[in-house]
Structure 1
């Protein structure tokens, strides 16, 4: 672990460029370097502009994470406002469409609509996804087994609607549907034995409710405010599900502005599952959003808790850096939580490059948990 962090720290000076060279020994050389970097940033901006129209941005999708390996494809992104005029404060809505194929032979097709309406008095989110997804399973609980291979074709859909009750307070219903066809498993593995819920596929259909307190100053790149969400989902045969269980998710985030456009971000996230849930829908840690540095779902069980902290600061023009750390654990009961050997740690550094005036960013993260990991994608994690 120490060698990994020293490697990352050794590269940081190459990304930090002086913004002024006046009265500094060797300033001519520094000015040449600055001009070179200016040209590189200018080239990046021109590439984004060339792939954009007045309403759509087209981005060759290049992603990477331990779960997918390198992914290649395309993304079309539309950012718009439902209300026009100088006096409106309606947040920007977004419509990203993605087609991706990874070196792990995963096909991912997604579309998502985030719609802010009536000067932020109502919000709608809808997402649809289809994937042919070879993946890994490491067992349930804190005593993980050797990762075994399985492949699933799944379809997913959700629809959330929220209505403002007061300043930054939203309440509304939600619906989720997912169907999995697991068509390949590791011979002799845990999933092939058929004793784990969901090992023969699943069909989930459920209704729920969410309460949000959203007082962020920017939805893509918050610099101050809070985002707290308490959601509850119930999956039941009455709604067409072949698994009956419920799940609570509590997600609390706080953004503290500090000097010179720096931001400190904290998150506490808890997931509680009641009933017989399939392994695909248990509480978990790992992946690009929850404890970077652990494979997604490396640890999973009925309950999970994760704490994450990020420090974001500007470097040069549209380039920013991020330092982050996280701790988390899973358990079959709440009694298993605490300061014990099951508590996991992760941390790392990242780089951000702003793509547009609304605050959309490219994201590159280097993390270490139980493995060294590299992530490349869009938007902030928290």
Structure 2
């Protein structure tokens, strides 16, 4: 059985991880209505009592992570996720998000990130940011849509990245504002016979990059982190000019479209379509990449990469019992050198199943466990907070 390199996970301690994460299974639950003389108090089950006790722990204790891969060795870390309101007087704004992850491996890998989504002034302002440092190898299968999953090479590098987007509401549900991204790739070490060296691919030497641009968005979802109805659309265009110190001059456009339906009860049908376009002297590590933990799940992130990416997915989300739920999805996508090179026979298939555990009943937010697959024995296992999209 052939696996993609970064997902050769052995199921060591995953059951323990599930049990460990289950303790904070319900966070920040709404308080029970006060007793009255005429209405008897609602009986609370032992299960709900247990979850209520876990709420306080979830607010302060990070979730432990563990996994094993042949290339990284033992991977241990901590993850933290909180939804909060910055002002008690602001009862209209949707909750803000603060998420942190830190992992290290026995073979020297490091990955640390902090991401935020701050919603302010009755939803009039949204500030999204991301900070990441990682030191780890990346697996390259080539550039283009016709790579072989059996042939890959390793590129070692270190990266620091920061991005921020500030959105202001100009009309009802319509936002726009500036976007920046700063990154620095260094200590790039490809294989001695790498195609990066042979073809003199941009990015071989690493380098600093400073991108500036603008984002526009439409958002009428009923929830930012687990929507059941509404729509969301965001586009971001970034320019990386030389006068800001960018080692490579290129343009990047990202478009993300989502729609949610609530056909009956608490069941949800979610649809997403995205595209990425890059143009100019684009380094290989900034090309449009297919795969990851939210789109085309099951494919190694960056296994397929090129100037253009298009993909889409359809997901069905259903409650099972109490705090537990399940999902199933199917998706398709591909990369190309340009939009004119896209053809229907080149699209790849993604499908999978997931388990959901509600960790914040007040904001209806889940912890998700997804197992994604693709033809050719592509597969990936993902643990994350909130829905994939």
TM-score by length of 1: 0.83
Q: In structure 2, what is the equivalent of residue 381 of structure 1? A: 388
Q: Please give the secondary structure, in 1, of the residue aligned with 2:344.
A: coil
Q: In structure 2, what is the equivalent of residue 88 of structure 1? A: 91
Q: Point out where structure 1 has 5 or more consecutive residues left out of the alignment.
A: 2-37
Quote the offset at 1:42 in angstroms. Answer: 6.6
1:62/1:376 contact within 8 Å kept:
no
Q: In structure 2, what is the equivalent of residue 49 of structure 1? A: 55
| Equivalent of 2:124 in 121, 136, 139 | 121
Quote the offset at 1:187 in angstroms. Answer: 2.3
Quote the offset at 1:67 in angstroms. Answer: 10
Quote the offset at 1:283 in angstroms. Answer: 0.9
Whether 1:353 aligns to 2:357 is yes
Q: 1:40–1:150: structure 2 CA closer, same or farther, 3 Å change rule?
A: farther
State how many pairs are aligned.
341
Whether 1:136 aligns to 2:139 is yes
Whether 1:74 aligns to 2:81 is no
Whether 1:60 aligns to 2:64 is yes
Quote the offset at 1:268 in angstroms. Answer: 0.8
Q: 1:297–1:195: structure 2 CA closer, same or farther, 3 Å change rule?
A: same
CA distance in 2, matches of 1:317, 1:230: 37
Quote the offset at 1:52 in angstroms. Answer: 3.5
CA distance in 1, matches of 2:290, 2:363: 30
Whether 1:262 aligns to 2:283 is no
Most deviating of 368-377 and 196-205: 368-377
1:217/1:224 contact within 8 Å kept:
yes
Q: 1:104–1:172: structure 2 CA closer, same or farther, 3 Å change rule?
A: farther
CA distance in 1, matches of 2:330, 2:297: 9
Q: In structure 2, what is the equivalent of residue 302 of structure 1? A: 307
CA distance in 2, matches of 1:325, 1:66: 29
Q: In structure 1, what is the equivalent of residue 192 of structure 2? A: 187
Quote the offset at 1:297 in angstroms. Answer: 0.8
Quote the offset at 1:246 in angstroms. Answer: 0.4
Quote the offset at 1:272 in angstroms. Answer: 1.0
CA distance in 2, matches of 1:294, 1:247: 22
TM-score by length of 2: 0.81
2:188/2:204 contact within 8 Å kept:
no
1:67/1:135 contact within 8 Å kept:
no
CA distance in 2, matches of 1:252, 1:212: 10
Most deviating of 100-109 and 320-329: 100-109
Q: In structure 1, what is the equivalent of residue 258 of structure 2? A: 253
| Equivalent of 1:153 in 135, 147, 158 | 158
Q: Please give the secondary structure, in 2, of the residue aligned with 1:49.
A: helix
| Equivalent of 2:290 in 285, 293, 297 | 285
CA distance in 1, matches of 2:70, 2:234: 28
Whether 1:175 aligns to 2:165 is no
Q: In structure 2, what is the equivalent of residue 106 of structure 1? A: 109
Q: Please give the secondary structure, in 1, of the residue aligned with 2:328.
A: strand
CA distance in 1, matches of 2:165, 2:71: 27
CA distance in 2, matches of 1:135, 1:147: 10
CA distance in 1, matches of 2:109, 2:168: 37
Q: 1:255–1:101: structure 2 CA closer, same or farther, 3 Å change rule?
A: same
1:62/1:377 contact within 8 Å kept:
no
Most deviating of 126-135 and 301-310: 126-135
CA distance in 1, matches of 2:73, 2:224: 28
Alpha-carbon displacement from aligned partner over 1:127-168 (angstroms, at most 9, x marks no partner)? 211111212011101232511011111100112101001111
Q: In structure 1, what is the equivalent of residue 216 of structure 2? A: 211
Q: Please give the secondary structure, in 2, of the residue aligned with 1:143.
A: coil
2:137/2:157 contact within 8 Å kept:
yes
Across the aligned residues of Structure 1 and Structure 2, the Cα RMSD in angstroms comes to 2.5
CA distance in 1, matches of 2:48, 2:281: 52
CA distance in 2, matches of 1:64, 1:223: 35
CA distance in 2, matches of 1:48, 1:131: 32
